[in-house]
Structure 1
Amino acid sequence: MTTKRILIIDDEYDIRAVAELALKTVGAWQVSTAASGSEGIAKAVAEQPDAILLDVMMPDMDGIATFQALQANPVTQSIPVILLTAKAQATEKRRFAELAVKAIITKPFKAMKLPAQIAAALNW
C-alpha cells in the first residue's frame, strides 16, 4: 500500500502544525502545508496530493474560493477536499454540503482522531 499524501491549507500556523503532526504520526501520511489559498492551489497543482484539508475562513482567498478554483482546474478537480471550519451552524453546513466536498470537520478538532475522520470520509 502506498503512503497517502495530504495537503493542509490553513492560514493559522498552530492549526497547520497540530494537524500535520497528527496526520504524520497517527496516520503515517506524507503531509505538506500551505498558509493561503493561492499557495495551496499552487502546491496542489505541483504535488497532486491524495486529499486536501482546507480551512474555510482565510484572508484574501477564503476556503470556498480556493475550493472553486481547485474544481475549475482540470489538474486538481479530482482531488478530494475536506473542509475544516469553525462555522458549525446549520446554514453554513447546508451551504458547504451543496459543494462537492467529501466531508466537513469542525474546529476545534481532536488531533489524534483527525486521521481516522479523514480516512473514514475518503474510504481509505
Structure 2
Amino acid sequence: MEKLQRILHVDDAEDIRMIIKISLEMIGGYHVDQFESGQEAMDGAKGCNPQLFLLDFMMPDMDGMETWSALKTLPGFADIPAVFVTAKAEDNFSQNMLNKGALSVITKPFDPAELCAEIEKAWSAHLEKIEGSV
C-alpha cells in the first residue's frame, strides 16, 4: 500500500492554509505545498509531485472543482485524487462532490487534530478501490 507523503493544498484564506500546513506537517508528517489560488497552483504545481490534492471549494476566480480539473491537465497529474474542504455543509453538496470523483469532503470548521485521520481514511479507501480494480 502506497503511503501518502505529498499533498498539494489550495485555499484562498491564509489562516486556513496555516492551520492545515501545521496540522498536516506536524501531526501527519506530510510534505505540503500550498497555493492561494487555482491559477497559482497551476503555475507552481509542476515541481511538487503531489499524490493528493486538498482543495478549498469556494475560492475567487477558480473554485475547487475548476482547480482540480485544471490541475489534472498537467503532465502526470491526471489521476491524482482530491479531497475538498468547504464551508458548504449541505449533504446534497457533499454527495454531489463525491459523485464527481472527490475522495472526501471535509466541512469547515474542522478539527485540526482530526484532519490527518480524515485524509488517511480517504487515502486508504482510494487505495483499496485502486487495488480492487487491478
- TM-score relative to the length of structure 2: 0.83
Distance 2:9 2:47 in 1: 14
Aligned ranges 1:90-109 → 2 under 5 Å: 90-109=91-110
Q: How much identity, in percent, do the aligned residues show?
A: 36
1:19 corresponds in structure 2 to 20
Instruction: Classify 1:45/1:110 alpha carbon distance in 2 versus 1 (closer, same or farther; 3 Å).
Output: same
Larger Rg: 2
RMSD (Å), alpha carbons: 1.9
SS of aligned partner of 1:101: coil
Aligned ranges 1:65-76 → 2 under 5 Å: 65-76=66-77
- Offset from partner CA, 1:66-88 (integer Å, 9 cap, x none): 11212344421111210111101
SS of aligned partner of 1:41: helix
- The answer to whether the Cα contact below 8 Å between 1:83 and 1:101 also exists between their aligned partners in 2 is yes
For structure 2, the 5+ residue unaligned runs are 128-134
Paired amino acid for 2:10 = I
Q: What is the number of residues matched between the two proteins?
A: 124
Paired amino acid for 1:69 = A
Distance 2:74 2:54 in 1: 17
1:6 corresponds in structure 2 to 7
When structure 1 is superposed on structure 2, of 24-33 and 86-95 the one drifting more is: 86-95
